[in-house]
Amino acid sequence: MIRVIVAYPHESGKKFDWDYYLNTHGPLVNQHLGNRGLVKIEVDKGISAADPSQAAPFVAIAYLTFNTVEEVHKGFKAAGREIMGDIPNFTDIKPTISISEIV
């Protein structure tokens, strides 16, 4: 299994619209990748750092699971422009993206 991690680091003064992210962006991702190998999407909402008085290092982390890395690249080649182009609608944070094999 392959996991695409899309992490939005906490940056002071930046915006993140959770309502849009969950109710519009998530369904958009599923619409474009659901028939291109996407198995599931999971999302973490940052609460705090290890020190509860500190902000979480990441506002949000999305985990997109695929069966193969080929599906990931094929899916994003076909729909990446629409998916990535929607990001400014909910945040001004530049995400960090990583593709990993689940072991």
CATH classification at residue 27: 3.30.70.100
pLDDT value of residue 28? 97
Please say whether the beta carbons of 97 and 5 come within 8 A.
yes
Residue 62 lies in a domain: no
Residue 9 lies in a domain: no
Residue 41 lies in a domain: yes
pLDDT value of residue 17? 98
Whole-model pTM?
A: 0.93
pLDDT value of residue 63? 98
Number of domain units in the chain: 1
Residue 28 lies in a domain: yes
Residue 4 lies in a domain: no
Cβ-based burial of 99 (10 A; exposed 0-12, middle 13-18, buried ≥19): middle
pLDDT value of residue 65? 98
pLDDT value of residue 44? 98
Residue 8 lies in a domain: no
Identify the domain containing residue 83 by its residue range: 14-56+67-91
Question: Long-range contacts of range 14-17, CB-CB < 8 Å, 24 or more positions apart?
Answer: 14/59, 14/91, 14/92, 14/93, 15/91, 15/92, 15/93, 16/59, 16/60, 16/90, 16/91, 16/93, 17/89, 17/90, 17/91
pLDDT in tens, the chain (103 residues): 999 999 999 999 999 999 999 999 999 999 999 999 999 999 999 999 999 999 999 999 999 999 999 999 999 999 999 999 999 999 999 999 999 999 9
pLDDT value of residue 37? 96
